[in-house]
């Protein structure tokens, strides 16, 4: 028996023993709202990180949640697993699944047309260094701030040829994608995330402020999102990596980029293809998707109160409808474009449909299991458990932002959802502080920053999963290489929220945070260089 199999069996044994302990401790009692409501995601995350196998780990987590919810009843467990877990996960994310497939098909079309290879050759001539490739990826990620799903998959498909040519590992590409997805959306007033935050703000607790106004006032204190951007720029300019990421970068220098088996497709050779053949489809995708999001938000409907209100339209849009809406139209236009350019026949373009679908099956499967895990965890009352923690910490006042940040990190990491986390915490935070109190803005920022941080670290987060899909790298490799970087920024952010609780001035705290981030990276570089 191999060492990995022994580890897997040992973990399985621990899980079974843990379940038996829970069953004994909660016999005749309701575990809803208790610490054990977070037991299923803990099991899934531990298994994924140790065994390096994400599908079975997530499924065992879902099964654990179903067992606890059904009190170990066989029929009840199966009902919960299938009905409340898997089927509901597919129903809730059907729009995102469609968008994933549409993007997969677009990527397949770009490869078949020879545009990806042409773009790679252009990049080799114009982007000379690894630093330039990393910063170019960062800039594109910042520019696509509308939605994190859209960001992950678009940046990955566009930048992979460039980063490959400069021998940047796919794990590093996945980090650059992930770090410019949710963190950017969380500080962009016009985004699906701003809309989600605003929807959780009610006049009863926010006073005269609208949800969007509160979101904007909280941006300067969102240390995790802002310092993540500083971290990326600094580590790119310094030209070093640490932790497990350094190992993958060394392998990349030797030609092993860490691309998923069978995925390293540079596209077909087409001497007629040029850079515009990839730029035009991407611009079409971006423009049409933004217009679709605005349409779904009511921007083009004269009868709507949001008519000609750009910000209002994004505040009322639904990304799960708008993105597949825009993706479908973009796909049709891109097929027509390549047919007019005579880069492929109609038959060849139709052959890209199943090819694109197959490329996205792993991401769809992981997303299904991850969301099923969130559903079963929700059935166990994890939100009530969080509320009880926050109510107990309400007397700490100046220290409360740091406490909120830690709680949000933990919940988001365990459940894999930023939106679910701030959906739980925002009403609680607004209720703790008086309307207009500077600590209220800091507390909201801590809640949002912690939600992004936990989401950024969690292997069961949908954004993390799609960053892996966008970079076409192994999901567990992405998580394990990203963790040291995310934890570094999280530690600095925690210190800054401690300081902000007393100083309460973003223009003092933020520069200090930037200096701490840059200084920390210089120290890490010196230490790692000495060890090397």
Count structural domains, the chain.
1
Domain assignment present for 193? no
Q: Which residues pair with 473 in a beta bridge?
A: 259
What digits encode the pLDDT tens for the residues 65-103?
888 888 778 888 888 889 888 888 888 778 878 877 887
Q: Residue 231 is encoded by which pair of tokens?
A: 């971290």
What digits encode the pLDDT tens for the residues 429-449?
777 777 667 788 888 899 899
Q: What is the pLDDT of residue 485?
A: 95
Mean pLDDT of the residues in the chain = 79
Q: Is 9 strand, coil or helix?
A: helix
- Show the beta-strand stretches assigned E in 232-342: none
H-run or E-run covering 323: helix 319-340
DSSP states of 456-487: HH-TT-HHHHHHHHHHTB-HHHHHHHHHHHHH
Q: Are 107 and 281 in contact (CB under 8 A)?
A: no
Judge residue 25's burial from the number of C-beta atoms within 10 Å of its C-beta, 0-12 exposed, 13-18 middle, 19 or more buried. Answer: exposed
Residue 31's domain spans which residues? 1-92
> What are the percentages of helix, strand and coil residues in the chain, rounded to 5?
80, 0, 20
Domain assignment present for 148? no
d(C-alpha 69, C-alpha 238), whole Å:
50
DSSP states of 329-341: HHHHHHHHHHHHT
Q: Residue 254 is encoded by which pair of tokens?
A: 């030797």
What digits encode the pLDDT tens for the residues 248-284?
999 988 888 877 755 555 556 667 777 788 888 878 8
What digits encode the pLDDT tens for the residues 320-339?
787 788 889 989 999 999 98
Q: What is the pLDDT of residue 303?
A: 56
372 CB contacts (<8 Å, ≥6 apart)? 58, 62, 81, 85, 86, 88, 89
Q: Are 269 and 114 in contact (CB under 8 A)?
A: yes
Q: Is 259 strand, coil or helix?
A: strand
Domain assignment present for 17? yes
Domain assignment present for 14? yes
Domain assignment present for 5? yes
478 CB contacts (<8 Å, ≥6 apart)? 171, 174, 175, 178, 464, 467, 468, 471
Domain assignment present for 332? no
Domain assignment present for 227? no
Domain assignment present for 81? yes
């Amino acid at each position: 028996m191999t060492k990995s199999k022994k580890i897997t069996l040992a973990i399985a044994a621990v899980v079974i023993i843990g379940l038996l302990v829970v069953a004994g401790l909660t016999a005749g009692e309701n575990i809803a709202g208790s610490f054990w409501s977070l037991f299923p995601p803990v099991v899934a995350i531990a298994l994924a990180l140790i065994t390096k196998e994400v599908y079975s780990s997530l499924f065992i987590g879902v099964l654990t949640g179903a067992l606890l919810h059904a009190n170990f009843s066989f029929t009840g467990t199966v009902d919960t697993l299938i009905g409340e877990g898997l089927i509901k996960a597919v129903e809730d994310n059907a729009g995102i699944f469609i968008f994933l497939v549409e993007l997969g098909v677009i990527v397949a079309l770009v490869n078949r047309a020879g545009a990806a290879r042409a773009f790679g050759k252009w990049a080799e001539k114009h982007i000379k260094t690894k630093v330039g490739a990393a910063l170019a990826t960062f800039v594109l990620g910042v520019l696509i701030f509308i939605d994190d799903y859209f960001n992950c998959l678009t940046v990955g498909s566009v930048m992979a040829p460039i980063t490959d040519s400069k021998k940047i590992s796919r794990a590093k590409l996945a980090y650059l994608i992930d770090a410019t997805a949710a963190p950017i959306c969380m500080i962009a007033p016009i985004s699906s995330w701003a809309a989600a935050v605003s929807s959780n703000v009610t006049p009863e607790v926010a006073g005269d402020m609208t949800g969007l106004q509160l979101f904007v006032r909280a941006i300067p204190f969102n240390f995790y999102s802002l310092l993540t951007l500083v971290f990326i720029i600094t580590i790119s300019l310094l030209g070093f990596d640490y932790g497990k990421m350094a190992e993958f970068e060394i392998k990349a220098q030797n030609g092993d980029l860490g691309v998923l088996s069978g995925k390293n497709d540079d596209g077909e050779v087409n001497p007629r293809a040029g850079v515009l053949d990839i730029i035009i489809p991407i611009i079409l995708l971006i423009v049409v998707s933004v217009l679709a999001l605005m349409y779904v938000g009511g921007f083009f409907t004269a009868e709507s109160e949001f008519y000609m209100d750009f910000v209002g339209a994004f505040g009322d849009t639904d990304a799960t409808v708008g993105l597949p809406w825009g993706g479908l139209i973009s796909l049709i236009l891109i097929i027509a474009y390549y047919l007019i350019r005579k880069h492929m026949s109609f038959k060849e373009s139709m052959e890209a449909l199943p090819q694109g679908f197959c490329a996205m099956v792993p991401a769809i499967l992981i997303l299904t299991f991850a969301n099923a895990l969130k559903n079963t965890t929700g059935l166990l009352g994890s939100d009530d458990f969080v509320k009880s923690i926050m109510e107990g910490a309400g007397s700490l006042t100046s220290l409360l932002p740091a406490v909120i940040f830690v709680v949000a990190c933990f919940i988001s990491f365990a459940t894999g959802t930023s939106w679910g986390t701030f959906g739980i915490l925002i009403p609680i935070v607004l209720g703790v502080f008086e309307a207009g109190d500077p600590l209220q803005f800091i507390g909201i920022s801590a809640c949002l920053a912690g939600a992004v941080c936990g989401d950024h670290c969690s292997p069961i987060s949908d954004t993390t999963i799609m960053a892996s899909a966008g970079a076409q790298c192994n999901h567990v490799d992405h998580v394990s290489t990203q963790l040291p970087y995310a934890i570094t920024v999280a530690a600095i952010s925690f210190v800054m929220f401690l300081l902000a609780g007393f100083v309460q001035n973003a223009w003092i705290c933020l520069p200090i945070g930037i200096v701490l981030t840059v200084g920390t990276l210089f120290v890490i570089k010196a230490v790692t260089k000495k060890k090397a």
